A = this chain, B = another copy of it.
């Protein structure tokens, strides 16, 4: 057993999504289990087409335009968010979608990226995952 990381992704800010995925993939590559629990603005990013673009794209990194940060990330050889998310799923990471947020924000399951979401669930599922984790973060 190599331990476990459970991260709440509450923010929809591009820089914080990067942090969440980099920590998540780092944990996976060191043999840990990882669960990402997407809620509030984080869950909005799991709508089809919203991870790197879409209506949310106005919410950028502080003081840096979205194009600018993408450019900087690319120049520094950081993989795009879409690739990081794909790696996460391929490496066996688990994506949990907060069903309360879906109710509150009026998000239909059809709008979300069903193919990569492991479970639609409530806070009880998060608690169970987090309780057995070595690393717990709220991002």
Cβ-defined contact, B104 with A76, below 8 A:
yes
Q: List chain B residues, Cβ under 8 A from A106.
A: 72
- Report Cα–Cα, A90/B94, bound state, in Å: 34
CB contacts under 8 Å to B, within A78-128, are 78, 100, 103-106, 122-124, 126-128
7 A/B residue pairs, CB under 8 Å, sorted by A: A8-B23, A10-B15, A10-B19, A26-B123, A75-B104, A131-B135, A135-B136
B123–A22 touching, CB < 8 Å: yes
A53 to chain B, nearest CB (A): 17
A interface majority secondary structure: helix
CB-based contact A130/B134 at 8 Å: yes
The 4 nearest A-B residue pairs measured at CB: A26-B123, A76-B103, A137-B138, A76-B104
Contact of A136 among B39, B123, B126, B136 (CB under 8 A): B136
Judging by beta carbons under 8 Å apart, are A78 and B100 in contact? yes
Question: What distance in Å separates the Cβ of A55 from its nearest Cβ neighbour in chain B?
Answer: 10
Q: Which residues 10-41 of A have a CB within 8 angstroms of B? A: 10, 15-16, 19, 22-23, 25-27, 29-30, 32, 39-41
CA distance A39 to B126 in the complex (A): 24
Q: Is the CB of A103 within 8 A of B127?
A: no
